[in-house]
Amino acid sequence: MLKSENDKRLELPDIMESLEKYYMVTRTDGEGLITYANRNFLETSNWTPKRILGKSFWQMFPNDEEGQEQSHAIWSRLSSGKSWFGTTKKTTRHGDPYFVKLVAVPFMDDSETLSSATFLELDVTDDVELREKLQEIAFIDFETGLMSRHRLETLVNEYIESKRHFSFVYITIDHYYTLKDHKTYDSERILIKEFTNRLKRYFQDSPIARVGVGQFALLTPFGDWYIQGFLAFLKEQPIYIEHTALPLSISGGIVRYPEDQQTYTQLITAALAATKEMTDSGGGRIASLSAESHKGLNRRALIDRKLLTALDRRNLQVVYQPQYDVASKSINLYEALVRWEDEELGYVMPDELIPIAEENGQIHAIGAYVIEEAAKLAAEWDKEKRDICVSINSSVREFSKPDMKNTILDILRDTNCPANRIRLEITEKFAFQAEVEQSIIRQMQSLQDAGVQFILDDFGTGYASFRYMQNLPISRVKIDQDFIQSLTTHPKTKQLVEGMIMFCKSMGLTVSAEGVETQEQFDMLIEMGVDAIQGYYIGTPVTQDQITFE
Ligand code: C2E
Ligand code: CA
Ligand code: CA
């Protein structure tokens, strides 16, 4: 329909008024920071008008892999000047999920860069939940007619009971959300339908389930070579969307019953892990979990069990890594790092231990132990009139307890440790959650008021390092070791680190670098003006007895 300019002008305010009335409307600037949110949005998301401003677009999405992947896909589409439409999961201020149908519209400036974006959303949570409930009852995925996740579980248990041998295969469409980016809502339906058809045609009599938006699982008596043949089959039978073959790549994992794993939960966990191994190495392959990874999974389960039953302070140990202070040319801080030794498992390093402890709740006991040991040591040094602080890593899970602040202050009092001798290192994951949970920020603030300083660890690895520095009580940042590794070999990294240092300093923050292993890195960082340096070049983590002073 053709319209005069006048008609368009007349209609626009009316349209906006109706949209505001029925839709949730938000707007962000070109950086993704929220500049406007209407009442409908605030009601659903539980944000208050003041607090929402300046929060980021990404914070409105669940803080998991899928949520982050999807929000980044939407944002990158907007950045290239294209609008986005689809159903997506969001999260309220308190972390409760809800579902919306979202239209995202970019506004570009004269130089074709994104200057702002408007988001119109309709809450469809009831529809999604109803659908899931019905699918649960009907045991079927409505969109594809495949089995639902619930039916799959029942069936696997039946197979196990009747002692049938089978391969459990998990298949995921690689980069689903980015792929979706190229398409319209309709083409997404075609993709899923056509993909389902190909699965059914290739795996004929095998039971197939849809377990996620772009994820499937199936049970088959056939071996690896047959299952892997599906990749070639997909190549021969490409999916066409608007007359072009879609560049589709998939990853998958195979786990055998009863050889590899013995229960439904174990099978799906192992199949997921196998699939992740494939996706992480670039995708486009289906393989069984390596023997090593099976061992890894079993080790994880063992650590989990042992932590719950046998966590004993005698098996925990704290080691300390020195940090060199550039101005005074001396060591003025030690970072406390936890170690766990078990008769059967040997030494368990924190990268393995902490995630499991966070999951099963033992992080509270471990954290309290580390703080206590660190505070005792810092108090001893304080008494000896040594000007040395101790820094401690803290997990956001610990601060989810509203009295974490008191736990820390009590320990400091009981050990006679002055608060200004202790620093807490937090990661971006921590910072992200702190921005959403007021109680965490409040606890951080009171600790800071008491004299405890906060360090933003692994600086530069997340999406919003710079924003956190503005919003949270942080006085120091520690540049991540990833940057330091390529500092002397990649000119781009050097520029980046230089920029980070300059910017942080202009914000009045103290900057340290970690993972420094060579003299060359050390010299370069000093030249760039960092305040402190940590890494094997300065010293490896040692036990308290091994620390000496000249
Ligand atoms: P992080 O805080 O980034 O700690 C630095 C890690 O890098 C330590 O590993 C350290 O031993 C290692 N490292 C130090 N200098 C160098 C170097 O020059 N080169 C290389 N390649 N590595 C270096 P670690 O002790 O295995 O700790 C791993 C992570 O576990 C830590 O990363 C920290 O996030 C977490 N963590 C450690 N102890 C605790 C704890 O008591 N509580 C909590 N919540 N997390 C902890
Ligand atoms: Ca650290
Ligand atoms: Ca770090």
Ligand 3 center–CA 477 separation, angstroms: 10
Atom of ligand 1 nearest to the CA of 537: 18
Ligand 1 centroid, distance to 337 Cα (angstroms) = 6
Q: How many Cα atoms within 13 Å fall on the side-chain side of residue 237?
A: 14
Residue 64 CA to ligand 2 center (angstroms) comes to 22
Instruction: Give the residues surrounding ligand 1 with Cβ less than 6 Å away.
Output: 321, 337-338, 349-351, 354, 367, 370, 393-395, 425, 457-458, 481, 514-517, 535-536, 541
pLDDT of residue 384: 95
Pocket mutation for ligand 1, best pick of 393, 424, 476, 537 (most atoms within 8 Å of C-beta): 393
DSSP string, 257-325: ETTT--SHHHHHHHHHHHHHHHHHTTS--EEEPPHHHHHHHHHHHHHHHHHHHH--GGGEEEEEEEEEE
- pLDDT at position 312, please? 77
Please give the distance, rounded to the nearest whole angstrom, from the Cα atom of residue 361 to the centre of ligand 3: 22
* Nearest protein Cα to ligand 1, atom 3: 458
Q: What's the pLDDT score for residue 193?
A: 93
Centre of ligand 3 to C-alpha 540, Å, is 14
Q: Which atom of ligand 1 is nearest to 514's Cα? A: 15
Q: How far apart, in whole angstroms, are the C-alpha atoms of residue 247 and residue 178?
A: 12
Q: How far is the CA of 450 from the centre of ligand 1 (A)?
A: 26
Residues linked to residue 245 through DSSP beta bridges, in sequence order: 240
| Cβ–Cβ under 8 Å, residues 501 and 487 | no
Domains annotated for the chain, with CATH where assigned, are 18-126 (3.30.450.20), 139-289 (3.30.70.270), 303-546 (3.20.20.450)
**Minimum-distance ligand 1 atom for the alpha carbon of 395:** 44
Residue 446 has what pLDDT?
95
Q: What is the DSSP string of 356-390?
A: HHHHHSTHHHHHHHHHHHHHHHHHHHHHTT---EE
Q: Is the pTM of this model over 0.85?
A: no
Query: What does residue 466 show for φ and ψ, rounded to 5 degrees?
Result: -65, -35
Task: Select from 65, 70, 199 the least CA-distant residue to 141.
Answer: 199
Ligand 1 center–CA 15 separation, angstroms: 55
- Pocket probe for ligand 1: among 320, 353, 354, 488, the residue whose CB has the most ligand atoms within 8 Å is 354
Instruction: Point out the residues of the chain with pLDDT beneath 70.
Output: 1-10, 179-185, 463-465
**350 Cα nearest atom in ligand 1:** 30
Sign of CA dihedral 153, 157, 160, 165: negative
Hey, what are 351's tokens? 């990268």
